[in-house]
Amino acid sequence: MANQIPVSSTLRIDFETGLNEKGALVFKRRTFSNIRVEATADQLFSTAVAITSVQNYPMGEVTRVDMYSLIG
């Protein structure tokens, strides 16, 4: 049976920057690397809210991307 070992985490925040010519939302993505793999979802969301408070655009989607090493 394979085991997984956490290697790294990345926090992605999509900001709503406006509308395109067809009226669809346009997003700008900011990526923050070297996030502690032990960080909880609540901690990351609180961080995203704090980052958004100093931005010019409202927060859209917040995503966590985890990388694992698989060992068999």
Question: Given this model, what pLDDT does residue 24 score?
Answer: 96
Note whether 70 and 6 are within 8 A (CB). no
Low-confidence ranges of the chain (pLDDT < 50): none
Question: Given this model, what pLDDT does residue 72 score?
Answer: 87
Indicate the pTM of the whole model. Answer: 0.86
Q: What is the CA radius of gyration of the chain?
A: 15
Q: How many domains does the chain have?
A: 1
Whether 55 is in a domain gets the answer yes
Whether 68 is in a domain gets the answer no
Whether 25 is in a domain gets the answer yes
Question: Given this model, what pLDDT does residue 47 score?
Answer: 97
Give the helix ranges, DSSP H, for 4-68.
Answer: 41-52
Question: Given this model, what pLDDT does residue 25 score?
Answer: 95
Q: Which domain holds residue 43?
A: 3-60
How far is residue 65's CA from residue 7's CA, in Å, rounded to a whole number? 11
Whether 65 is in a domain gets the answer no
